[in-house]
Structure 1
Amino acid sequence: MTARIGVITFPGSLDDRDAQRAVRIAGGEPVALWHGSHDLEGVDAVILPGGFSYGDYLRAGAIAALAPIMTEVKDAAAKGVPVLGICNGFQMLVEAHLLPGGLIRNAHQQFIRRDQRLRVENASTAWTNAFDEHAEIVIPLKNADGGYIADDETLKRIEGEGQVAFRYLGVNPNGSLNDIAGVSNDRGNVVGLMPHPEHAVEPGFGPGTPAAMRSGVDGLAFFTSAIAAVVAQAA
């Protein structure tokens, strides 16, 4: 089967087409979805892309979290459908309470863009199963509101239950608590992270890594993971 992965476009989305292309390169079928719709068109997985939805008014992701299609995203997530939030999409997921914690302005109060080292802390989610546990990867990061926060009880819980999916290595670029770069829900089908895997899916175009044959493609495994999860669910 060919996994159909929906990518939702919101007013102010920037990376929706990049996400669609990443899905295609990974071997899936990208399906363009619209924020104002109430129809996920039967997709097997959903991606909320990066950008500045609704101009980041109120809070980054806060208005998008109330978009009509988010009702369907919540229902799909509750049924186990894989959902990925990238950067602004991660902000939407915490605002929609599909993921724990919150995201605030970077500690240095500036927009940042860099190639970022990460460690995969949980390789058993729908979006990380193609990685080795504790693999170190390099993918682009670009945000102004990427500081991950959570109250002490939530932080202790997600650390103890393996819901920290990714951690920053070398440099904490935004002041995130415990160097957290991405988290999952307790079921593992919903994942959000601030860095952009869709910008690291082609050799020679993404950030370099010590493994020359993999240079620039560390983000591809996010999308192949989701495809594998969809195929496994259908079996």
Structure 2
Amino acid sequence: MAKEIRAIVIAGNGTNCEREVAHACRLAGAEVVDIVHIAELLAGRVRLDDFHFLNLAGGFLDGDDLGSAKAGANRLLHARVADSEEHLADQLQRFVADGKLVMGVCNGFQLMVKMGLLPALDGNYQQQTATLTFNDGGRFEDRWTYLAVDPDSPCVYTRGLQGIYLPVRHGEGKFVPGDDALLERIESAHLVPLRYATADYQPTMTFPENPNGSVAAIAGVCDPSGRLFGLMPHPEAYVHRTHHPRWTREPELPEEGMGLWLYRNAVEFLRSEVV
């Protein structure tokens, strides 16, 4: 009998999308989905080792003081687990080394980038090499976006997809690599699974299709293994047809929302490759 897929969604310190993410994991087929406050991990009452799929949900970590998710990144990198010599970062590094999956959405993507989990080109998952900064428009954007998919990306989550339509809601979503050389390496390794696009799924730098001016229209990034993935749009916000902004005017919409595809790909990968 196959072991159950266990997903964990970290909450606390400003996240506000954990319930939606947990619901998406359940719909995708994960048998165990736990929403865990960060304090529970730091107290040692819950361990990442007991899960297969780590989800970093969106929100406003620490009020985005120091920039989006930077304070949260410092906490995860340097905080020690109570009554232990182990840091939470040690559990996270072990989680990655064991071939498990990590997905960060919006604030969770910002967190992954600022911790160094993405793009992690040289296998160093604790060195920040890129950032996410203020939208070019200088304001919070809340709108729906078309996203072109790179079919050659190693990304586990976007396998078999051609294009998706998801909402964004962020003030600091512009992806900026540390330098041009890093961008070239990311591009050549196909580590950009998703780009902001026009309605016919052609990548664009034009506002509002590209809501933040992200370099090279980058909406999401994965690591070379394809198992770690972060994106600014919210897949958990479109898992049913009634989440679509035009669901009352487009009766042909399928019951299942496009965002669920990413979570289902994750669960199917875990069931076939890890568990």
| TM-score, structure 1 normalization | 0.91
Change in 2 beyond 3 A, CA 1:11/1:178: same
Aligned partners of 1:138 and 1:207 also within 8 Å: no
SS of residue paired to 1:63? helix
Task: Tell me the equivalent position of 1:48.
Answer: 56
Residues 103-147 of structure 1: CA distance to partner in whole angstroms, max 9, x if unpaired?
000011100000111011146422222x33xx1211111000000
* Among 202, 213, 222, the residue aligned to 2:240: 202
Q: How large is the RMSD of aligned CA atoms in angstroms?
A: 2.0
Q: Taking structure 2 as the reference length, what is the TM-score of the superposition?
A: 0.79
The answer on 1:64 being equivalent to 2:72 is yes
SS in 2 for 1:80: coil
SS of 1:212's partner is coil
Match of 2:190, SS state, is: coil
Q: Structure 1: which 5+ residue stretches go unaligned?
A: none
Are 1:186 and 2:224 an aligned pair?
yes
Q: Percent identity?
A: 31
Measure the CA separation in 2 of the matches of 1:219 and 1:226: 12
Q: How does 1:42-191 map to 2 (within 5 A)?
A: 42-65=50-73, 66-67=75-76, 68=79, 69-100=88-119, 101-122=130-151, 124-129=154-159, 131-132=160-161, 135-150=162-177, 151-170=179-198, 171-191=209-229
Quick one: distance in 2 between partners of 1:114 and 1:229? 30
Match for 1:104: what amino acid? T
Distance of 1:6 and 1:220 partners within structure 2 = 17
CA contact (8 A) 1:138 1:208 kept: no
Judging changes above 3 Å, is the alpha-carbon distance between structure 1 residues 154 and 72 closer, same or farther for their aligned structure 2 residues? same
Indicate the SS of the match to 1:181.
strand
Partners of 1:206 and 1:216 within 8 A in 2? no
Instruction: Evaluate the alpha carbon distance shift between residue 70 and residue 137 of structure 1 in structure 2; reply closer, same or farther with a 3 A threshold.
Output: same
Gaps of 5+ in 2: 80-87, 120-129, 199-208
